[in-house]
Structure 1
Amino acid sequence: MVHQIREISIKDIDPFIKLLTTIYDESDYLIYNPGEYAPSTTDAISNLEHFITSPSNAIFVAENNGELVGFATVTTEDYERARHEAKFSMGVIRHYREKGLGQSLINAVEAWSLNHDIRRIEVLVVPENETAVSLFKSAN
């Protein structure tokens, strides 16, 4: 499978909303129940602009044949004592899981983190999400 990992851009707003909706609808482990995620375009644009213009936060997307099929977010705090820490979350459309996209997204976040002097990356995963637990264990 050929895929590209890149930082998100504002032109990705509609495909990104579609991606998040699909991932939230497919997952039993994320915050939204199927059908609950329905952001306004204004809210989605505002959130995306925040990430795009922030030097301390990023969103990476996985693209396959022009379609967004996965994402990873990395966020940091502005507090002096926490500037070396980042929080990381990700999601991949079910059909594209276990095909290397998750590891590619992790690699992008790790590279970004090294360039931003991040020494600790936190990820929260429910233990029942065995696929994600396995991925993060293999990535160390």
Structure 2
Amino acid sequence: MSLTLEPMGAAQFASWMNHVMQWYAQGKVDAGSWPEEGAFERARRENAEQLPDGVQTPGNHFFVGTVDGREVGFLWLHSDPDQSPPTATIEAIEVLESERGQGLGRALLEAAEGWCADHSIATLRLHVFGRNTAAINLYESAGFEATNVLMAKTIR
């Protein structure tokens, strides 16, 4: 099995980004960072600020992961070559639900690392919600280390 990254087209970007904003908003609600009311609208506003030119916003790279021509997942990288050392951040990574459990999450991570190496980017970063233990385990097993930890306690 060999995973390939293909550039994401504008139509697919619009559809996928709507899905990502729903996921992100729910993650913020579940983490206790945002109230449920208005969360999706807030995510869309933040996204519009981050990506004023959509799929064409400089420094952002959107990919479809394919295996044998079949879509299996998606990857959004943001690169900042002016940072020293040059860095990239995985803004979103997703394996299609029907394709999970086959090692494709790791393959997408490896493809992201390969893209970084090809673009002389020395550091790859990501954010993961604390309750997403499956993703945390995958990232740690792939060599990612915690660099910041934000913790909260509900006071009643």
TM norm structure 1: 0.65
Output the amino acid matched with 1:88. I
Find the aligned partners of 2:11 and 2:3 in 1 and give their Cα distance.
18
1:48 aligns to 2:55 (yes or no): yes
The residue aligned with 1:61 is 64
Percent identity (aligned):
21
Off by >6 Å, runs of 4+ in structure 1: 64-67
Work out which structure has the larger RCO, using CA pairs closer than 8 Å and 6 or more positions apart in sequence.
1
1:36-81 C-alpha deviation (Å, 9 max, x unpaired): 16859xx57822121xxx4x43122235898866322221225353
The residue aligned with 2:149 is none
1:91 aligns to 2:93 (yes or no): yes
The count of residues paired between Structure 1 and Structure 2 equals: 132
The residue aligned with 1:104 is 107
- Contact map agreement 2:76 2:93 (CA 8 A) in 1: no
Q: Map residues 5-20 of structure 1 onto 2, 5 A cutoff.
A: 5-20=5-20
Q: CA deviation at 1:17?
A: 3.4
Find the aligned partners of 1:36 and 1:26 in 2 and give their Cα distance.
8
Any idea what SS the aligned residue of 1:81 has? coil
Any idea what SS the aligned residue of 1:36 has? helix
Find the aligned partners of 1:19 and 1:3 in 2 and give their Cα distance.
22
Q: CA deviation at 1:96?
A: 3.8
* Alignment RMSD: 3.9
> Unmatched 5+ residue regions in structure 1?
none
Find the aligned partners of 2:92 and 2:65 in 1 and give their Cα distance.
10
Find the aligned partners of 2:112 and 2:3 in 1 and give their Cα distance.
16
Find the aligned partners of 2:24 and 2:68 in 1 and give their Cα distance.
22
Find the aligned partners of 1:129 and 1:20 in 2 and give their Cα distance.
15
> Unmatched 5+ residue regions in structure 2?
144-156
Output the amino acid matched with 1:129. N
Any idea what SS the aligned residue of 1:132 has? helix
